Amino acid sequence: MNVWEWLLMVASFLLTAFASGSETAFSSASRIRAFARAREGEPRASLTVKFMKNPERYLTATLVGTNIGTVLCSNLSARMAKATGQPWVETVTAISVGLLILVFAEVVPKHAAFVFRDAIVDRIALPLSVMRAVLYPIVVVAGYLPRLLMGGRESSRFFESREEVRSYLNSEGDESARDADRVLDLGTASVERRMKALDSFPSISSDISRADAMRMAFSHKSKFILVFEPGGKTLSGMVRTSALLRHEGDWDLSRMTEGMPYFERSTVLGKALYDLRRAGAPAGVVMGPSGQPEGLIDSDIIVDAIIGEAVSRPLEPLGRL
């Protein structure tokens, strides 16, 4: 085994270690920090973001690099052992080289890359690009075959979780970022956090007279009025203010009273808004642990949660008539 083969074996070992560490560094590094560095004009960070926007670029390159390095190193070491003519040397060499690759070209580089991921990811972006260019024909084939098998579906996500997006938005600090952050709450915040007490809305008794009901409708600009059974303890439903004001003929409040959707306290705002729109209901009841109404959630409250501004609806306690 000549010196060039020795050098090639060492180079293949280093290639395996570099590819293994690079995959871990790019997979675990913070996209938020990389994006921030790129916005500050750091050229190496721009290359990092380019890889992160399309993970296939670094995943296929590192996969190809790891396999080529491992195969070359193993074959060259096996050739060296076979040249001795001693079967036991081949066995010892195979075990020794396998352990060396596992520990020093896989475990150690991956662990180090994970610990120092944000510090090294920009530095290895250019060498990884060079490696990808050198191995480009193999990288293209390795990237094409999975797409062919999976029907060409690709992920276009840059951020991998709501928390990553929320961290980036908070780092922006302006009002538009805060608005977008509120939108994310549609999929995470529960109605329990935004519901209002029942006495925050106008209400009437089911045995109320027509004149008193009309006075309540005129005195408040709410879209609806809650209807309670006589005694004010049991919620019957709600009556739309517009229907109340347009009512003609014999007075029968029960015929105008509508039921409302019911939500568990853990229901997220986005689902509550969807269910309200689907049911055509202006509000829904939030149920407590005992199965009794605990609060009310309406579309205006959810809109408040998104835009962070109060809409034209009175929220102060109004009492019951």
Based on the fold, state whether residues 13 and 148 are members of the same structural domain: yes
CA 23 from centre of chain: 22
In a domain, residue 317? The reply is no
The parent domain of residue 300 ranges over 191-307
Q: Is 285 helix (H, G, I), strand (E, B) or coil?
A: strand
Contact between 308 and 182 under an 8 Å Cβ cutoff? The reply is: yes
Position 180 scores a pLDDT of 54
In a domain, residue 173? The reply is no
Q: Which residues, in sequence order, are CB contacts of 211 under 8 Å at separation 6+? A: none
Based on the fold, state whether residues 148 and 195 are members of the same structural domain: no
Q: List the end-to-end C-alpha distance of the chain, in Å, as a whole number.
A: 99
In order, the DSSP letters of 289-321 are TTSSEEEEEEHHHHHHHHH-S--S---S---B-
Position 190 scores a pLDDT of 84
Based on the fold, state whether residues 33 and 140 are members of the same structural domain: yes
Average pLDDT over residues 246-251: 85
> In CATH, what number is assigned to the domain containing residue 226?
3.10.580.10
What are the tens digits of pLDDT across the range 4-52?
889 999 999 999 999 999 999 998 888 778 887 888 888 899 999 899 8
Based on the fold, state whether residues 239 and 302 are members of the same structural domain: yes
Which amino acid does the sequence have at 93?
T
Position 275 scores a pLDDT of 85
What are the tens digits of pLDDT across the range 85-103?
888 998 999 999 999 999 9
What are the tens digits of pLDDT across the range 276-309?
888 888 899 998 887 788 899 988 888 777 665 4
